[in-house]
């Protein structure tokens, strides 16, 4: 049974303020303990105000590495790129941003191991922060032919390439995503979602666990750590 703790807020601003504080605390704790921090954060729209609040915090950002939980396989100059969003959000603070793979060629160059860059990082991450789509995907673990690859990839694989089917209209391109094992290796996992529809969907996914039809349910069902879920209407 997934051990989920819900944190409810009245507005996106309240959620953004609280989650920025929580993520800042996780980073500071990692810096105190290991003199470095590695966080994996999602793309999408929900995180944007949180990033803005978080990067106002005074901390030794030069010792913080930020990676996307997933990306679209497009060049970093492309507006669909999560690496571009993270670079814009975190580089001004002095943090290091490491893209996973940014194109099919990049992915192939890495010997089809989409996680070549992640292999050089001190794993596990201090935080994996997840969003959820209205179809129940998380990171870029979507229903479709590649779902099982992303769920069952061995611990040594930190990311895999996937082709969602159907392609999500907001970004109809191939993707790369942290695997379930990579997500669950994190010291801390938190989820941010907005709206009642997503809340109902996530509550159902948590209740269904391993038998969930939703990728996020299949991912979180194996979690050994408690999951903090931050929600606002
Ligand atoms: C992506 C994101 C994706 C996102 C959800 C929720 O690359 O699209 O990583 O998994 O977290 O789609 O997006 P919103 O926060 O915009 O609803």
What are 17-40's pLDDT values in tens digits?
A: 999 999 999 999 999 999 999 999
Continuous segment of H or E residues that includes residue 130: strand 127-130
Q: Pick from 109, 111, 168, 113: which is nearest to 137 by CA?
A: 168
Question: pLDDT tens, 149-158?
Answer: 999 999 889 9
Pocket test for ligand 1, best of 132, 138, 174, 196 (most atoms within 8 A of CB): 132
**Which range, 68-77, 126-135, 160-169, has the best average confidence (pLDDT)?**
126-135
- The minimum-distance atom of ligand 1 relative to the CA of 138 is 10
Predicted pLDDT of residue 144: 85
Pocket test for ligand 1, best of 42, 193, 216 (most atoms within 8 A of CB): 42
Ligand 1 centroid from CA 33, angstroms: 30
Question: pLDDT tens, 70-99?
Answer: 999 998 899 999 999 999 999 999 999 999
Ligand 1 centroid from CA 29, angstroms: 27
Nearest CA to ligand 1 atom 1: 43
Question: pLDDT tens, 194-226?
Answer: 999 999 999 999 999 999 999 999 999 999 999
Predicted pLDDT of residue 53: 98
Q: Which domains are assigned to the chain?
A: 4-232 (3.40.50.1360)
DSSP H helices, 35-161, are 47-54, 82-90, 104-109, 116-119, 147-152
Letter string b/e over residues 72-95, b meaning 16 or more CB atoms within 10 A of that residue's CB: bbbebeeebbbbbbbbebbeebeb
pTM across the whole model? 0.96
What ipTM does the predicted assembly reach?
A: 0.95
Ligand 1 centroid from CA 25, angstroms: 23
């Amino acid at each position: 049974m997934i051990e989920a703790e819900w944190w409810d807020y009245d507005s996106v601003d309240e959620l953004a303020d609280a989650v920025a504080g929580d993520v800042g605390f996780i980073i500071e704790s990692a810096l105190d303990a290991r003199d470095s921090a590695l966080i994996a954060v999602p793309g999408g729209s929900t995180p944007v105000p949180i990033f803005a609040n978080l990067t106002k915090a005074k901390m030794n950002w030069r010792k913080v590495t930020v990676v996307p939980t997933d990306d679209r396989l497009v060049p970093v100059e492309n507006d669909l790129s999560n690496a571009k969003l993270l670079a814009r959000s975190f580089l001004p603070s002095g943090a290091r941003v490491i893209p996973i793979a940014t194109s099919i060629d990049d992915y192939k160059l890495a010997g089809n191991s989409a996680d070549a860059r992640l292999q050089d990082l001190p794993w596990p991450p201090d935080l994996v922060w997840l969003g959820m789509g209205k179809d129940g995907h998380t990171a870029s673990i979507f229903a479709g032919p590649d779902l099982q690859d992303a769920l069952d990839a061995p611990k040594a694989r930190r990311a895999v390439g996937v082709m969602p089917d159907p392609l999500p209209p907001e970004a109809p391109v191939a993707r790369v995503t942290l695997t379930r094992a990579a997500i669950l290796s994190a010291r801390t996992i938190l989820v941010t979602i907005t709206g009642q529809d997503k809340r109902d969907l996530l509550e159902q996914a948590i209740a269904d666990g391993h038998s969930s039809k939703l990728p996020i349910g299949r991912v979180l069902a194996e979690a050994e750590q408690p999951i903090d879920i931050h929600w606002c209407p």
